[in-house]
Amino acid sequence: MGMLKTRRLSVPAILTFGDSAVDVGNNDYLPTIFKANFPPYGRDFVNHKATGRFCNGKLATDITADTLGFTTYPPAYFSPHASGKNLLIGANFASAASGFDDKTAILNHAIPLSQQLQYYKEYQAKVAKAAGSKKATSILKDALYIVSAGSSDFVQNYYVNPLLNKQYTPDQYSSYLVGIFSTFIKDLYGLGARRIGVTSLPPLGCLPATVTLFGFHKSGCVSRINNDAQGFNKKINSAANNLQKQLPGLKIAVFDIFKPLYDLVRAPSNYGFVEARKGCCGTGTVETTGIFVQSQVSGNL
């Protein structure tokens, strides 16, 4: 247990921003159709109840918290638990159907990334009140910041929005999103963040919903959409490298989830899975209920 204690101290809090791959219940409190507060969501989670996570069980951020020795998870910022001492281990600002592009979130009645940043500023003041400003500064400096967005920008905005895909090529839209990402990281850094982890895009062309909507009745992944995701991933890697050079003391890592997920979809049995073509908790023709993007990714894994 000594090792766990040390690791716990090294990361006192986890702050999470983004979309449904990391939303732990904020959308339960919003007037949006993108909710996960009913079965079969959560069927493999503690108490087997839906928690607002777009998954049958834990999210990658929950597993990260477990690995770092956390015994409880940072609360969804909109939940009643997000107050006082509970905030000292972090908070989750993510909102399903949000993205780097604020217009994606507004379209889907989710919390835009710019607004998530405002809530983080509010959070900072609450932590200072609960722990004192000196302790608060230390928590915020040593905390792990996780950013996971981009999937909804493409699947729930760009590909289904004729105006947008006439205005931008996928490559241009990627550049636009990565520009917003860079500004967001600089803003977080300016507010004290020093350890930031960012997820790449998954193989968007393999999501059950994408295959149904854009696969023209073929069963395999949609290669043009996977190519767009890989193009975006190259840009975000390059932007992260530049930010690390520009901002003294920043440690930023891009978690490349594309390849492991692509390999899993291609050969699920190699990884102990039976099914990699259906969402865990989706129903209907696009394998989803309400949300139809990252529920497929986290749900299948």
pLDDT digits (tens, 9 = 90+) for 172-197: 999 999 999 999 999 999 999 999 99
Distance between CA 103 and CA 167 in Å, rounded?
14
pLDDT digits (tens, 9 = 90+) for 49-75: 989 998 999 999 999 999 999 999 999
Distance between CA 192 and CA 203 in Å, rounded?
32
Write phi, then psi, for 129 (nearest 5 degrees).
Answer: -70, -40
pLDDT digits (tens, 9 = 90+) for 196-229: 999 999 999 999 889 888 888 677 899 999 999 9
Count of the separate structural domains present in the chain:
1
Q: What is the three-state SS of 127-164?
A: HHHHHCHHHHHHHHHHCEEEEECCHHHHHHHHCCCHHH
- From residue 292, give the alpha-carbon distance in Å to each of 44, 88, 209, 282: 20, 33, 6, 8
* CATH at residue 266: 3.40.50
Distance between CA 206 and CA 284 in Å, rounded?
17
Give the count of beta carbons closer than 10 Å to the beta carbon of residue 69: 16
Alpha-helix runs per DSSP H in 145-267 = 151-153, 162-167, 170-190, 208-214, 223-246, 258-266
pLDDT bucket at 83, cuts 50 / 70 / 90: very high
pLDDT bucket at 9, cuts 50 / 70 / 90: low
Nearest to 247 by CA among 196, 189, 198: 189
pLDDT digits (tens, 9 = 90+) for 20-53: 999 999 999 999 999 988 888 899 888 899 899 9
Write phi, then psi, for 287 (nearest 5 degrees).
Answer: 60, 35
Query: What's the distance, CA 229 to chain centroid?
Result: 15
Residue 299 in this model has a pLDDT that exceeds 70: no
Whole-angstrom Cα Rg for the chain = 18
Distance between CA 183 and CA 201 in Å, rounded?
18
Residue 6 in this model has a pLDDT that exceeds 60: no
Domain of residue 91 covers: 2-300
Residue 300 in this model has a pLDDT that exceeds 50: no
> What's the mean pLDDT when you consider all of the chain?
90
